[in-house]
């Protein structure tokens, strides 16, 4: 499969590594509007061809699929152009900046019958895949409730450098620079982390968002620091499961930690990925009598990169798809509405207005 990389920023090197681990994949070209960054990327990764625009790459057309690694706000126009050119797309998260755009992207890909996938990277975690399978098999019985969290501390730690002087971090704190805060950056990951294991879609949700003071007048240079830093959420799923979700960049003592606890009437599971060290714990069978938890061994799983390539090759649908990402975007859109209204909202489609 011949692959085009659209964008050569920080995540692009991971896409190069991930796709080159799949036999038969050739990265034939890359696109970037910054000529210096593009040339350096091409040389570093030994990619034979570069383009200054997506239009030029589409006019060339000598590729089978595209990996879209552009900034969030650019996903929609670029992906729509690629789909209309008849090419499958592997897109970074979030799929779009709002549900209307994400839904249009999903509908376009579905109507064209093109392979499509969103890079929700924690689907690569074997412990998460194993938990999903155990729940689907009924190993913990009927699921009742869950707790999920995604905790980072780069606003209170120098482990990643000084965020106050680094555009890579500052833009994530500014809505004017395209950020939807912790909600848009890592919120989509923890929402997927939970709903994938529970095996059901979100229905009723309530969010509280908080932006904490971080600098004088909440501004550093051109960056207005107005994007949300933390959120808490309560949710009900279509199958009646209830849960709570929490995400923050102020979680002192945590680098990049995801945790999911899921409870059924016959057992419970805990999936953690603490600073990229995954683990699956279970309390099952007789162990539920004395609350004994045991670590479970899990087998490696195919990466999103591999599964996208397989989807292109055999034209079979694989998750996480554009449709799934659009459904998650609907929940993210409701966050600001529920926070504003201070009341729970239903995540379904807008009700039809009855005729007079």
Sign of dihedral through CA atoms 10, 15, 20, 25? negative
Residues 151-160 have pLDDT tens digits of 999 999 988 8
Each residue's pLDDT tens digit, 204-248: 999 999 999 999 999 999 999 999 999 999 999 999 999 999 999
Q: Do residues 312 and 25 lie in contact, with contact meaning Cβ atoms separated by under 8 Å?
A: no
pLDDT tens-place string over residues 245-296: 999 999 999 999 999 999 999 999 999 999 999 999 999 999 999 999 999 9
* Local confidence band at 21 (pLDDT 50, 70, 90 cut-offs): very high
Residue-wise pLDDT for 47-72, tens only, equals 999 999 999 999 999 999 999 999 88
pLDDT digits (tens, 9 = 90+) for 179-194: 889 998 899 999 999 9
| pLDDT tens, residue by residue, 68-104 | 999 888 999 999 999 999 999 999 999 998 999 999 9
- At residue 73, the pLDDT reads 87
Which H or E run contains 243? strand 242-248
Instruction: Return the closest-CA partner of residue 271 out of 238, 244, 252, 293.
Output: 293
- Which residue ranges form the domains of the chain, and what is each CATH number? 2-122+307-318 (3.40.50.720), 126-300 (3.30.360.10)
pLDDT of residue 177: 87
Sign of the torsion formed by the C-alpha atoms of 207, 349, 194 and 107 = negative
Report strand pairing: 116-119 vs 50-51. Answer: unpaired
Instruction: Please provide the average confidence, as pLDDT, over all residues in the chain.
Output: 94
The pLDDT of residue 48: 98
The SS3 assignment for 269 reads strand
Give the global pTM.
0.91
pLDDT exceeds 90 at position 333: yes
The pLDDT-based confidence of 348 (bands split at 50, 70, 90) is: low
- The β-bridge partners of 3 are 27, 65
The CA distance from 157 to 167, in Å, is 17
DSSP string, 64-109: SEEEE-S-GGGHHHHHHHHHHTT--EEEESSS-SSHHHHHHHHHHH
Sign of CA dihedral 113, 114, 119, 124: positive
Strands 278-284 and 267-274: antiparallel
Report which of 138, 105, 120, 265 is spatially closest to residue 193, judged by C-alpha positions.
120
pLDDT above 90 covers a percentage of the chain that reads 88
Per-residue pLDDT at 340 exceeds 80: yes
Which tens digits make up the pLDDT trace of 296-317?
999 999 999 999 999 999 999 9
229 vs 222: CA distance, rounded Å: 19
Distance from the Cα of residue 94 to its chain's centroid: 6
Could you give phi then psi for residue 267, rounded to 5 degrees? 175, -175
Average pLDDT over residues 135-164: 95
Q: End-to-end alpha-carbon separation of the chain, Å?
A: 55
Q: Flag whether pLDDT at 356 surpasses 60.
A: no
- The residues that bridge with 270 in the sheet, in sequence order, are 261, 281
What is the H or E stretch that residue 351 is in?
Answer: none
DSSP-derived letter for residue 342 is: T
CA torsion through residues 156, 120, 181, 234, sign: negative
């Amino acid at each position: 499969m011949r692959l085009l990389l659209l964008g050569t920023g920080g995540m692009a090197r991971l896409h190069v590594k991930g796709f080159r681990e799949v036999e038969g994949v050739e990265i034939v070209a890359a696109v970037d509007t910054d000529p210096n960054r593009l040339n350096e990327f091409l040389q570093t990764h030994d990619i034979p061809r570069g383009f200054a625009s997506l239009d030029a790459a589409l006019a060339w057309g000598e590729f089978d699929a595209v990996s879209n690694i552009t900034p969030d706000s650019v996903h929609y126009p670029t992906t729509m152009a690629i789909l209309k050119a008849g090419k499958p797309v592997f897109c970074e998260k979030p799929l779009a900046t709002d549900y209307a755009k994400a839904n249009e992207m999903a509908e376009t890909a579905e109507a064209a019958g093109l392979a499509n996938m969103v890079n929700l990277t924690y689907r690569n975690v074997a412990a998460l895949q194993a938990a999903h399978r155990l729940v689907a098999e009924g190993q913990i019985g009927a699921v009742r409730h869950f707790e999920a969290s995604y905790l980072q501390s780069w606003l209170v730690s120098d482990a990643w450098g000084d965020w106050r002087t680094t555009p890579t971090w500052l833009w994530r704190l500014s809505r004017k620079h395209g950020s939807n805060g912790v909600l848009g950056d890592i919120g989509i990951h923890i929402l997927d982390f939970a709903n994938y294991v529970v095996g059901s879609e979100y229905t009723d949700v309530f969010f509280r968002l908080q932006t904490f003071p971080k600098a004088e007048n909440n501004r550093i240079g051109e960056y207005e620091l107005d994007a949300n830093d933390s959120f808490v959420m309560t949710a009900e799923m279509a199958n009646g499961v209830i849960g709570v979700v929490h995400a923050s960049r102020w979680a002192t003592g945590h680098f990049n930690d995801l945790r999911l606890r899921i409870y059924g009437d016959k057992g419970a599971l805990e999936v953690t990925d603490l600073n990229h060290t995954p683990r699956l714990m279970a309390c099952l069978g007789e162990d539920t009598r004395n609350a004994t938890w045991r670590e479970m061994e899990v087998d490696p799983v195919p990466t999103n990169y591999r599964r996208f390539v397989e989807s292109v090759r055999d034209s079979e649908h694989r998750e996480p798809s554009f449709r799934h990402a659009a459904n998650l975007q609907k929940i993210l859109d409701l966050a600001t509405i529920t926070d504003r209204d201070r009341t729970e909202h239903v995540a379904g489609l807008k009700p039809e207005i009855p005729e007079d």
